[in-house]
Amino acid sequence: MARKIVAGNWKMNLLPDEGYQLIEDLSNFCEGNKLDNVEVVVSPPFIHLAKAAEMTAHSKLTISAQNCSDQLSGAYTGEVSVEMLKAAGVNWTLIGHSERREYYGDTDEFVNGKLKRTIEAEMTPVLCVGEVLEDRKAGKQEEVVASQLKGALAGFSADEVKNMVIAYEPVWAIGTGETASPEQAQEVHAFIRKYLTQTYSAEVANAVSILYGGSVKPENAKEIFGQPDVDGGLIGGASLKYEQFVKLIEIGQ
């Protein structure tokens, strides 16, 4: 069965000292509570990562990057490679978040290249997919998600896909306060699981955790996380506040 994961995406928020304080508090929470059924992940900005990984080296809290380069090394100004992340003690990264796709040109081809680097480096990528409002209104969410999965996963073996995490994040629900209903989330999660079964195998489909993301808060998480194909959440805004994120971890476990 897919593992349960509650992951926070800090985006471009929190100055280093604020971030380290939150890491310390979350790390203490994870140590002080029996979190046998959930993996807790946080994705701070690049500049916090090395220290955050050092602080959590012996903790149950996992540190993830928000992005990585599709290139190994060289003349790629502003990029950070998977080898650099690994050297800093970071073994997870988000890939293809909708904000990267919308503002920084992360096409499916780029996403595929980034995924290749993470799998070669034996990291855990969290592949983000999801449709924009226009596609949802046209009932094209499954078509869009299938096309993103096809592009992102091109060339990967079943064993490689098994080591990935997928986050379904409808773009219209990210940072908008608008959440997909539990039924809408379940429908697309079930579709993703079916896609993985048909493209790879039932074993792969059952091994891959599929997280929901989009304005998840303690008030709506119980119903969303309770859906049969929802294996946890990728949380933006509410992961910046200790009390809210801890409640979400408790609900996710």
Which residue type, as a one-letter code, is found at position 205? A
Angle between helices 141-152 and 108-120 (to 10 degrees): 50
Closest contact distance (angstroms) between CB of 236 and ligand PEP is: 2
Whether 189 is catalytic is no
What are the φ and ψ backbone dihedral angles of 42, each rounded to 5 degrees? -130, 145
**194 assigned binding-site residue:** no
Total residues found in the chain within this entry: 253
- Among 30, 95, 174, 224, which residue sits at the site for ligand PEP (rule: CB under 6 A)? 174
Asked if 96 touches ligand PEP (CB under 6 A), the answer is no
User: Cα–Cα distances in Å, from 38 out to 5, 22, 41, 97, 233?
Assistant: 5, 19, 10, 22, 11
Rule CB under 6 A: is residue 175 a binding residue for ligand PEP? Answer: yes
- The vertex-93 CA angle with 92 and 98, nearest 5°, equals 150
CB of 140 to ligand PEP, least distance (A): 21
The Cβ of residue 241 has, within 10 Å, a number of other Cβ atoms equal to: 14
CA atoms of 128 and 145, how far apart (whole Å):
10
Active site residue 79: no
150 carries a ligand binding annotation? no
Per the annotation, does 9 bind a ligand?
yes
- The reply, when asked if residue 214 is annotated as ligand binding, is no
Listed ranges 13-21, 51-59, 134-142, 231-239: which one lies at the site for ligand PEP (CB under 6 A): 231-239
Binding residue for ligand PEP, selected from 215, 224, 231, 249, defined by CB under 6 A:
215
Active site residues: 97, 169
Query: Which residues of the chain form contacts with ligand PEP (CB under 6 A)?
Result: 9, 11, 169, 174-175, 213-216, 234-237
